[in-house]
Structure 1
């Protein structure tokens, strides 16, 4: 069995750099994996990184967890470490020794950063005990729910607040509505339905509502949950014949925050139970905040009466962040990491990473890790080197020609109509949408885009971009169509 790390590593600068590599890996996994998976399998791991970064050893609490992590996550972790470091990294899994010793390790705390702990602490974590309260009121988000234990866990992440959410035109209306709900739950905007693509900040916003309400009213009964967990709870209630306990848990809440309700599709009994919970909560003037990847009427295989309930309060969209907002997010998040990112670097990254906040954060982590490992100042050149894979994939996948073909296919017109002088609405509208997407998703200038659309003047392109951008804020159906096209183009 591999030796555990000795206490000398705690004072070794090489060990600190090694933990920076593991922390960068953890932060990426926290973004990529569902919260419950990350907290259950990844968060308790203890890492030992070789001084030359050639090998990372992960210590696991027991044989079952070791086998599961090897089968489910080892390849992903290995590839991620190699991607972050830029060279091959050997990954090894080992059982943590069971005897009580006082050697120092590092493990992630609730905010994703790392905290030194003793082996006794790590051993307890491996046995399922929790030492990190992410909600700030005694409810841990780091262990899966155990209804039989009788303890109520709100599952909130204390770091996701209104104060840590960068505001911009893309999320201003949703943020304003969410703050209103947090200040006056049970009144207007009930339910609040927030929709948008992956990684745009929907989850951040619902956590912020819960954290603000608890700050104002510490005894409020708040629950954040992913729709998949609700499905799981319904199944368990059936298996264990514990529907009274299930109803007591969900029907007694003051605030229910539920992510990704599109996962209820085709699950009839789950939809029935959620409808009952929905009605019970509204009857007692409790508030419900939901998120989805599409607006209520766009949900597939959801009962009509449930869709009508979703649509009965306020429905707001979160859009992909505009350039200035992306720049602000990068500078703020770099500052949280203790690093000042030059504005010109932030602009370079923001111009090249457009889709969502999650990808923006991933790009920032790569740049910070690349800067630390190579001991170089952050510059545009360093950012270009750190993001070379991402930039090459983006440049290869999204071209004006690809946009024209995708939009033409979607609206069932000929690609040749993109360049033609025809002006009927059935052609002009898709052409304007394609021009808008070309400006949003490529580095082409307005004159270059105009040239690729049959030699049109740049003012024609500018008019199309402004028209579609403005209508996107007003027209739900257009916004949804653009979401579909953007996700298709980004693969």
Structure 2
């Protein structure tokens, strides 16, 4: 009976399935399609060049044994590689590549087409600092659980992080979303989970990346026509840590590709860890289907540390830096710096530096000077919601009126000022600002900002409004 590509590949898969982990089989062999078998040559279709290279790098010996069992010692393998052109005018096409490993397969008679440059055999998706075979985690080993001080403000998040690090992908905390304000330790905790997983499970592939960098890589993959390779790269990660996921706000294309990557990882028991400056329910311009994924696991909030925790954080920092500071000074700092961990450590570093450089002792007077300067120079965190409340109160209206569709002059001006200050004082995109101020588009926000700039130059009363509102928002 004549062998078909389907029957040969089906028998190969039976052998392969018995010799690798189920997850690896599902990820790297189920997507493969048998195309044809001619004499001793089997042609299989794979989704991308990156997929082809991964098989060559990690499973070539297994493929050789399986194929030799079916086709004999002269067995040869050819990959039919899908080349994605979805972002160009060309139709999608495929290119044939023989197995590049000459030892397992005698590829005599099977040649690379002349029009294919040999340089194209390299991985077309390259992340700076990440090699093709060994993926560097991008983790900072200084971020550990040992120096993440536990307190009431972070107990749930820290406990969930420990559970995830002991059994990544095997708890109900998947995804684990850690959210909270600036400087409360979101990045520290997320990386601490990754560091512990790498220590406990060195064979796992862990990757930390900011949402901003992820977005830029996606844009580059579209420009380079390597979107499939981008997706396959992320689909092979065992533990994916994405920092500041709120940065995806308003970026529909990036959200779409992240949605598919997230689904693949989650369905295959991989661990996803996310950080955000707000809870999922408060995220703007994120697709509902993606927000629903964020809510699947656990959302754990980090809040400003209470007094006892602030003292413990300072003492831990002193121990690590090898300095001894009187308790009254430590307690004074903890009582006066209440916002976040970053500011606490900033004051302590300033105090140590001042005492060391100027050969002064640690005194309460010196500490008070530094704390006063630090508090004065620390800018208040301003949100779009806060800006709307301040401006609504200033013009004696409620926020609903400010966001309404009315075209009354004084309400329109208040709304334009809210957009203007939101652009100046937050990192939100124009689309995000418009969405949060009455569901306007980015063009409306841009027009509002230009209008305010023009009025500042021509209208003295309007200029006074801006000056007074600025004081209310910054003091």
TM-score w.r.t. structure 2 length?
0.53
Alpha-carbon offset, residue 392 of structure 1: 4.3
Counterparts of 2:325 and 2:473 in 1: how far apart (Å)?
Answer: 30
Residue 274 of structure 2 aligns to a residue whose secondary structure is: strand
Residue 387 of structure 1 aligns to a residue whose secondary structure is: helix
Alpha-carbon offset, residue 379 of structure 1: 2.0
Q: How does 1:54-453 map to 2 (within 5 A)?
A: 145-146=128-129, 151-187=134-170, 188-392=172-376, 409=393
Tell whether the 8 Å contact from 2:240 to 2:272 is kept in structure 1 after alignment: yes
Alpha-carbon offset, residue 360 of structure 1: 1.0
Counterparts of 2:139 and 2:264 in 1: how far apart (Å)?
Answer: 22
Match of 1:57 in 2: none
Please tell me whether Structure 1 or Structure 2 has the larger radius of gyration of its CA atoms.
Answer: 2
For residues 414-466 of structure 1, the C-alpha deviation after alignment (integer angstroms, 9 at most, x for no partner) is 9xxxxxxxxxxxxxxxxxxxxxxxxxxxxxxxxxxxxxxxxxxxxxxxxxxxx
For residues 249-285 of structure 1, the C-alpha deviation after alignment (integer angstroms, 9 at most, x for no partner) is 2101111111111100111110011001100001110
Residue 270 of structure 1 aligns to a residue whose secondary structure is: helix
Counterparts of 1:367 and 1:150 in 2: how far apart (Å)?
Answer: 46
Tell whether the 8 Å contact from 1:182 to 1:213 is kept in structure 2 after alignment: yes
Tell whether the 8 Å contact from 1:366 to 1:387 is kept in structure 2 after alignment: no
Gaps of 5+ in 2: 1-125, 399-471
Q: How many residues align?
A: 270
Counterparts of 1:354 and 1:263 in 2: how far apart (Å)?
Answer: 27
For residues 165-191 of structure 1, the C-alpha deviation after alignment (integer angstroms, 9 at most, x for no partner) is 111000001000111111111122111
Tell whether the 8 Å contact from 1:335 to 1:341 is kept in structure 2 after alignment: no
Residue 257 of structure 1 aligns to a residue whose secondary structure is: strand
TM-score w.r.t. structure 1 length?
0.51
Structure 1 pair 220/299, CA: closer, same or farther in 2 (3 Å)?
same
Alpha-carbon offset, residue 490 of structure 1: 7.3
Alpha-carbon offset, residue 385 of structure 1: 2.5
Alpha-carbon offset, residue 387 of structure 1: 3.1
Tell whether the 8 Å contact from 2:336 to 2:371 is kept in structure 1 after alignment: no
Counterparts of 2:397 and 2:163 in 1: how far apart (Å)?
Answer: 44
